[in-house]
Structure 1
């Protein structure tokens, strides 16, 4: 295995955005006359993009899907409004993320973002956090025809960087991240501190508990 580039998930891997997501989700619920949900409940609904999050939050059901009902469209519009207005009120990097990204960038290792977060949130969030320039490729949930766990985002990153997809490493916190890597034939590293749960059996090549432990994996 020769790692020539690294792709990172965003929410739950590089940044803890849960408070801002929960705030926007509950503001949207309030706009529609619904009572707020616990932050932990919102956390359990994160990972499959904003539209699915809104569907789950409105229904308070982890199995809900966005089908374009009038209520969901209204909720999506309100969520967009509230979240875009406060992308980084409480969102913060996890420990050692900034230093590690900077060090990897200085080494000349190509870096990418592969997230299911829509581009309308991903790009301004990265700019507000001051790390936009670190990434050579940014794939959001609506950049391509398919999103994680499809292998297409990983294949797209590899193509953009001019490398074989099996030389790309995926670092994430959820089953979608590990499955996307496995489906594409990439190595994967799971961070234990994110929003995913019970992922130890999914077959990631390594599990790290702090972001800078990534260096040890790369040096093996």
Structure 2
């Protein structure tokens, strides 16, 4: 696939740049214990990730994909979760193999790279800082940065406005349906990683990669 027209690359965070499930699961289970609920497996928590912390708290309390917790219980759980998770952002979260090298290669091509995540800025920015990744990115767009989050096209459109490029010149790299739908809505190239939290073969992306370094060969002039 020819990606030589791409002028910037956007990356999802959880499941694409970093494996954060151990710390998300620890926070979710600490919250459940606080609420008098039994622990869930890490794999089950992983199935609830992808739409931001507010949705994760609903799902972690109810253990249902579309579950809605009682408002008072959700608020108590949400406040506990955010405090706990913010204090333990990178206890066991790790950068995926190939990410640092891949980002370096893209920067060598003088391509701006940004993060577009449904995680709030309050959590995403310190996570990136603690893993020494923040300086690699021109922008970090969180789930609470704009009026809409993925799968809306708005975050991608905003990035393109800031970078003064067309949405067709942006590639969105992620591991979830939200990433692909957001790219489709914006008219951007949709790229899936095959090591994330979803089955990449089911995402109907334009391209599936196993390492960010693969982008270098596809994008170099």
State the TM-score, normalizing by the size of structure 2. Answer: 0.94
Specify the alignment match of 1:71 in structure 2.
73
Residue in structure 2 matching 1:59, options 58, 62, 84: 62
2:13 partner SS = coil
Q: How does 1:87-166 map to 2 (within 5 A)?
A: 87-166=89-168
Deviates more, 1:202-211 or 1:115-124: 202-211
Asked if the contact 2:22/2:93 (under 8 Å) is kept, the reply is yes
Q: CA deviation at 1:151?
A: 0.2
Cα distance in 2, alignment partners of residues 217 and 116 from structure 1: 27
Structure 2 unaligned runs (5+)? none
Contact 2:21 2:42 (C-alpha < 8 Å) held by counterparts: yes
Alpha-carbon spacing, 1:157–1:69, altered in 2? closer, same or farther (3 Å):
same
* Contact kept? 2:192, 2:208, Cα under 8 Å: yes
Larger CA deviation: 118-127 vs 206-215? 206-215
> Distance between the aligned counterparts of 2:109 and 2:213, measured in 1?
14
Matched, 1:31 2:6: no
Task: Write the mapping of 1:5-16 to structure 2, written as runs, cut at 5 A.
Answer: 5-16=8-19
Distance 1:210 1:58 in 2: 34
Q: Which runs of 5+ in 1 are unaligned?
A: none
Distance 1:163 1:110 in 2: 11
Which has the larger displacement, 20-29 or 68-77? 68-77
Kept in 2, the 8 Å contact 1:206–1:217? The answer is: no
Summarize deviations over 1:69-127 as a string: whole Å, max 9, x none: 00000000110111000100010111110111122223321111000001110111111
Q: 1:185 — aligned with what? A: 187
State whether residues 174 and 196 of structure 1, in contact with CA within 8 Å, keep that contact through their aligned partners in structure 2. yes
Partner residue of 1:22? 25
Alpha-carbon distance, 1:201 to partner: 4.4
Question: RMSD in angstroms over aligned alpha carbons?
Answer: 1.5
